[in-house]
């Protein structure tokens, strides 16, 4: 019997940012999905390789239009667009039976009122309840049936993956999370500011970072969250403190059972998680430690902010949506 491989046509809207270029890099290796269109509002007509010389791509940026998406028979669009912008594209794409994975925050919250606490007014609130939160290992069954995915935030992924399985056993959560400078975005002024500060290390967004409300939504708990800018190019390390009446062994057992057989989530018992363990991969590696005071625990979690924290997880979700091997195109 001969099996024919079905190739899906992919478009990336807002392809000039770090997440867009990371999508192109990863999808170049994908055997069942091909990027045939990349768009940019401000840089149409420019070859993507002129912006990212290391990319193996001959694609040229184009102006977005729904007519173009239809004429190219696009099966899925990755929206690598700013918060408040993705919602403008998603409605017409879905109306034309084109699946959407949104890397902004626009569809991360089922309740648009929660979204609007930290982001602009939602112009497509009716879609929020239809969207599936794309933390793949936790919501895989829902992702498989979805047409619209709200891809999680990068800091959020590093905290939720180790904490969701034990969220009913813990209290008083505090997360100190540190990200490489690529988390600052690709705009020239953001790049310059980040690289000027590259030799430094600082906290920012104290008591005000918008990822906190996303963590609280999916942990069903109030937490304290402080992000930091690390003097490295990519990666996130989150140190999470919490209290629990459970023993270390009980919490470890829950985590081991929850992630048993998972390719991209590794629960360590030996060694200590390091950013270098996960750089350029779609993996989350974490370890649970007992604190020095009875009932106190510490979780250390690492991911690559551009891969598992953004584009890699987006492709993992796409693979599940189309029934592909979940690991296709990813390491």
Mean pLDDT of 11-20: 94
Residues 117 and 226 in one domain: no
CATH (domain of 44): 3.40.50.720
Mean pLDDT of 288-314: 97
- pLDDT score of 183: 54
Q: Is residue 210 part of a domain?
A: yes
- pLDDT score of 252: 97
Mean pLDDT of 281-293: 98
- pLDDT score of 200: 76
Q: Is residue 1 part of a domain?
A: no
Q: Is residue 329 part of a domain?
A: no
Residues 143 and 183 in one domain: no
Q: Could you tell me how far CA 15 lies from the centroid of its own chain?
A: 16
Residues 162 and 148 in one domain: no
Full-model pTM: 0.92
Residues 82 and 200 in one domain: no
Which of 117, 111, 118, 113 lies closest to 133, judged by CA? 111
Residues 102 and 190 in one domain: no
CATH (domain of 222): 3.30.360.10
Residues 80 and 188 in one domain: no
pLDDT for 205 beyond 90 = no
- pLDDT score of 1: 36
> Is residue 208 very low, low, confident or very high in pLDDT (cuts 50, 70, 90)?
confident
Which of 220, 255, 259, 286 lies closest to 140, judged by CA? 259
Residues 141 and 185 in one domain: no
- The bridge status of strand 99-102 relative to strand 236-244 is unpaired
**Which residues face 173 on adjacent strands?**
223
Mean pLDDT of 188-192: 43
Residues 83 and 142 in one domain: yes
Total domains, the chain:
2
pLDDT for 5 beyond 60 = no
Sign of CA dihedral 104, 107, 112, 115: negative
Residue 81 token pair: 């667009």
Residues 293 and 161 in one domain: yes
Q: For 130, how many CA atoms within 13 A lie in the half-sphere containing its CB?
A: 15
Q: pLDDT of 68-111, one tens digit each?
A: 999 999 999 999 999 999 999 999 999 999 999 999 999 999 99
Residues 66 and 122 in one domain: yes
Catalytic site positions:
154
DSSP letter, residue 164: G
Mean pLDDT of 304-330: 97
Domain around 189: 155-305
Cα 235 from Cα 129, distance rounded (Å): 31
Residues 177 and 299 in one domain: yes
Q: pLDDT of 219-273, one tens digit each?
A: 999 999 999 988 888 999 999 999 999 999 999 999 999 999 999 999 998 999 9
Cα 298 from Cα 275, distance rounded (Å): 17
């Amino acid at each position: 019997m001969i099996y024919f491989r079905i190739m899906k046509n992919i478009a990336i809207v807002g392809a000039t940012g770090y997440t867009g270029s990371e999508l192109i890099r990863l999808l170049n290796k994908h055997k069942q999905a091909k990027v045939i269109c990349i768009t940019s509002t401000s840089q149409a007509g420019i070859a993507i390789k002129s912006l990212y010389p290391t990319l193996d791509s001959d694609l040229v940026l184009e102006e977005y239009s729904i007519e173009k998406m239809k004429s190219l028979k696009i099966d899925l669009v990755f929206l690598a667009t700013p918060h408040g912008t993705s919602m403008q594209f998603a409605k017409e794409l879905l109306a034309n039976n084109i699946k959407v994975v949104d890397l902004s925050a626009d569809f991360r919250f089922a309740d648009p009122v929660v979204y609007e606490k930290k982001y602009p007014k939602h112009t497509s609130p009716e879609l929020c309840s239809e969207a599936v939160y794309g933390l793949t290992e936790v919501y895989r069954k829902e992702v498989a049936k979805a047409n619209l995915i709200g891809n999680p935030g990068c800091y959020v992924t590093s905290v939720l993956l180790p904490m969701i399985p034990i969220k009913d056993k813990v209290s008083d959560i505090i997360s100190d999370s540190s990200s490489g400078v690529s988390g600052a975005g690709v705009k020239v002024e953001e790049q310059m500011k980040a690289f000027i500060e590259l030799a430094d290390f600082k906290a920012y967004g104290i008591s005000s970072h918008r990822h906190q409300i996303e963590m609280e939504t999916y942990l069903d708990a109030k937490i304290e969250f402080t992000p930091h800018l690390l003097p490295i190019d990519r990666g996130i390390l989150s140190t999470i403190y919490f209290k629990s009446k459970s023993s270390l062994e009980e919490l470890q057992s829950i985590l081991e059972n929850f992630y048993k057989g998972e390719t991209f989530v590794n629960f360590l018992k030996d060694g200590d998680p390091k950013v270098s363990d996960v750089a350029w991969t779609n993996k989350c590696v974490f370890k649970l430690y007992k604190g020095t005071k009875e009932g106190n625990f510490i979780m250390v979690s690492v991911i690559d902010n551009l891969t598992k924290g953004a584009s890699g997880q987006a492709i993992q979700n796409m693979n599940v949506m189309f029934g592909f091997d979940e690991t296709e195109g990813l390491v």
